[in-house]
Amino acid sequence: MIVIPEALAESLRKHFPREWLAGLPGLVDRTLDQWQLTVDGKTMHGMASLVLPVVRPDGTRAALKLQPVDWEHEGEPVGLRIWDGDGIVHLLDHDQDTGAMLLERLDEHRPLSTMPDDFAATGILAELLARLTEVRGPEGMRHLRDSAKKMVADTPRTAIKLSDQDERNLLKDWAATVSELVDEPGDRLLHWDLHYDNVLAADREPWLAIDPKPLVGDPGFDIMPALDNRWDDIVATGDVPKAVLRRFDLLTEALGVDRQRAAGWTVARALQNSLWEVDGGEPRLDPIQVAIAKAVTSPRR
């Protein structure tokens, strides 16, 4: 019997209908039987997904991923098929009705976040991101244009929830920046969540990306997760703006994007993150998001 980790159960209860969590054990049993899989390791999980190390009938080691299918996750199998393992985990099988995915097995014990050299880790992530964003996004997938328009429209209503007037003004300034970009949102296939724990060591390549939440848009919108992760490494340098810009410059160079435009889309990501947090009850802006937005938009020192 598969035991659902309590941390996953708590997250699912908070964000998804309780019926999905209640039906998860049965879904595990049915999917294992459907694909004739044998569990051969410890249960793993993310914020919304249960992942089981499994073996296929032919002896191939794989990973079974089960998660609710919502706006964030519905495009994952589509994106994985398009990328076809180029810089990212292979999709071996997919059940359209349940959203279950059978994935190539990577080394879950060796995420990129374990690499001691922060700048070397950023370089690896940048190379993967450049490969992924070379691909044009498909028709019908959620688009950055729509997300950006919604951010701009939602900002006035959300800004009044902040307790500090200066932060209200800052949120509106970010929205003004996004409004200037919304008519040219880009056409690349984006990962949307490529941070250091979403890159794992692999056999066929040293490192591969996992857990995309694909959308179509400008590659600059994909930079933020590499800036606000491993934040302790940024702080440890003693010069936060300089360390942020060091990562930012490495990423923009690898992506081959216009630096000013990428800065604007990074501000858009700070706006998106902040709108979610404030609507969730936070009375102040996250200092990390503010620091990053300020660093990438300030004149070069």
At 201 the pLDDT is 98
Half-sphere exposure of 241 (CA within 13 A, CB side): 10
Mean pLDDT in each 10-residue stretch from start to end of the chain (301 residues)? 90 92 96 97 93 97 95 91 98 96 97 96 98 97 97 98 98 98 97 97 97 97 97 97 97 97 98 97 98 94 60
> Please, what is the Cα angle at 235 between 269 and 281, to 5 degrees?
45
> Please, what is the Cα angle at 282 between 68 and 232, to 5 degrees?
85
Domains and CATH numbers, the chain: 6-105 (3.30.200.20), 111-297 (3.90.1200.10)
193 is catalytic: yes
pTM of the model: 0.95
Catalytic residue among 93, 193, 197, 249: 193
Interatomic CA distance for residues 187 and 191, integer angstroms: 13
Burial 148-163 (b: 16+ CB within 10 A, else e): bbebbebbeebbeebe
Strand 188-190, strand 199-201: pairing: unpaired
At 229 the pLDDT is 95
DSSP assignment, residue 15?
A: H
At 71 the pLDDT is 80
At 171 the pLDDT is 98
At 301 the pLDDT is 60
